[in-house]
Amino acid sequence: MSEQAEPVQEFDEARFLALLDLAGPATAHELAARLDEDLTQVAETMIQAELAGDRPQLLAQSHVLLAIAGTIGANRLYLLSERLNAQVRTPASGPQAELLGEIHVLLGRLITRIRLARSQLAGP
């Protein structure tokens, strides 16, 4: 699904770590917990919406992903969320199975990364 001239860095680790650093030790753990909860909810809701063909729900979840992915440096997920957003806005667009499949994979990786940060922030 690579349509771009230049490859996009999937995840900007430096941006994510800078965000956690900016939040400070106490708030960073809460931020990681909230990201984990929100992204897990998005993943579950997107699966249900995909199965039901619920385009308004896919649109809503694409907005959530755009906001989170853009903020924390999940660059590839951000671009795919933009594409999903455009597709579900177009009534004549066909199935999004391939696009959603890639989003689910990247979302799973992102949730795993967030959970690692969350456990590291929890300390010993």
Q: Mind listing the pLDDT tens digit for each residue in 21-66?
A: 999 988 999 999 999 999 999 999 999 999 999 999 999 999 999 9
Q: Read off the pTM.
A: 0.90
What angle do the packed helices 75-89 and 55-72 form, to 10 degrees? 160
| Residue 92 or 119, more confident | 119
Res. 6: pLDDT tops 70: no
Could you give phi then psi for residue 91, rounded to 5 degrees?
-55, -30
- What pLDDT, on the 0 to 100 scale, is given for residue 96? 84
Res. 119: pLDDT tops 80: yes
Which H helix or E strand runs over 52?
Answer: helix 25-52
- The answer to whether the beta carbons of residues 100 and 119 sit under 8 Å apart is no
- What pLDDT, on the 0 to 100 scale, is given for residue 115? 97
Would you state the structure tokens that stand for residue 8, as one six-digit string? Answer: 């996009």
